[in-house]
Structure 1
Amino acid sequence: MPSLLHIHPNHPISFPGISGFPLLQPSRISANASFMRGTAVPQILYKKEASLFLQNELNNTRSKKLTPFGYTRKDVLLIGLGVTAIGFGLKSGLEFVGVDPLQAGNVVQLVMVLGLTVGWISTYIFRVSNKEMTYAQQLRDYEVKVMEKRLEGLTEAELVALLEQVEEEKRQQARGEQVN
């Protein structure tokens, strides 16, 4: 059965009866699969300079997206196994010292539940005191976006005036610090 999709590496994508898209060509990986996924890329991106730029940007975004410990499945499993191992180790240690196994189990359960609860609550209090909560972070991100949008809307003359005003304030602060 003939394919409806006619692709040539140096020509735009075309369907029978529909004109080709002048700036688009499919990814070099798999022509049919990439078109079906909607990953047709402008031809300009295949130029050497653009490709190097995009590769650098992709590498930078990958390196910036390193997640802190505790936010991946592997980390959660390691934490769970670690807490379980600590519990078994504590129970075995108490039994080795001579504590009754039932009594040792109760002590371990009490210590682990209280310890985990106090630890969890202390991380929350720490985040609140340092203003690292989700809402505070979202608010900071929103403020930054609004300021960026306002800066984009300024004319060249307004930007120059704003920069002069900032420089003047810096000079005034420097003079104020020298006097004190």
Structure 2
Amino acid sequence: MRRIDAILIAFAVFVAGGIIYIIFQYLGFDAYDAGIWSQVLLVLGLIGWVVTYLFRVFTNNMTYHKQVKDYDDAFFAKQLEKMSPEEIEKLMAEKDS
């Protein structure tokens, strides 16, 4: 993620909080209650994001892990292309024993 992306996301969350506050006031909440409930929704959204992030971390479903796996797969495929059929047969025989 680039720095500008992080800044835009933070700004979007800030604006979303303001919009939620205005919506609550439009629905009839006073300023105090609208502020509390808009913060509650923002905190619940943050907790939800953290939970999904932790889930991706513990299941190794992160972009970095996918890139490393793709690189390893491509590297080993390239190595197999360079090997002769006899070398591949020998390698398979070593694997089985």
Which of the five TM-score ranges fits, normalised by the shorter chain? 0.5 to 0.7
The offset of 1:128, in angstroms, is: 6.5
What is the aligned partner in structure 1 of residue 68 from structure 2? 138
- From 27, 32, 52, give the equivalent of 1:97: 27
Structure 2: unaligned runs, 5 residues or longer: 90-97
1:83 matches 2:1: no
The offset of 1:127, in angstroms, is: 7.5
- CA–CA separation in structure 2 for the residues paired with 1:144 and 1:121: 32
Q: What does 1:1-180 correspond to in 2, within 5 Å?
A: 71-122=1-52, 124-125=54-55, 132-133=61-62, 134-152=64-82, 154-155=83-84, 158=85
Q: For the pair shown, which has the larger CA radius of gyration, 1 or 2?
A: 1
The offset of 1:96, in angstroms, is: 2.8
TM (norm. structure 2) is 0.64
Q: Deviations for 1:10-38, whole angstroms, at most 9, x for unmatched residues?
A: xxxxxxxxxxxxxxxxxxxxxxxxxxxxx
The offset of 1:106, in angstroms, is: 1.2
- CA–CA separation in structure 1 for the residues paired with 2:29 and 2:52: 31
Matched position secondary structure for 2:29: coil
Structure 1: unaligned runs, 5 residues or longer: 1-70, 163-180
- CA–CA separation in structure 2 for the residues paired with 1:136 and 1:81: 29
The offset of 1:93, in angstroms, is: 1.8
- CA–CA separation in structure 2 for the residues paired with 1:81 and 1:145: 41
Matched position secondary structure for 1:117: helix
Instruction: Identify if the C-alpha distance between structure 1 residues 136 and 78 changes in structure 2 by more than 3 Å, giving closer, same or farther.
Output: closer
| Greater RCO, 1 or 2 (C-alpha within 8 Å, sep 6+) | 2
The offset of 1:109, in angstroms, is: 0.9
Q: Deviations for 1:122-151, whole angstroms, at most 9, x for unmatched residues?
A: 35546866x632335424422431332243
% same residue: 20
The count of aligned residue pairs is: 87
The CA RMSD measured in Å over matched residues stands at: 3.0
TM (norm. structure 1) is 0.39
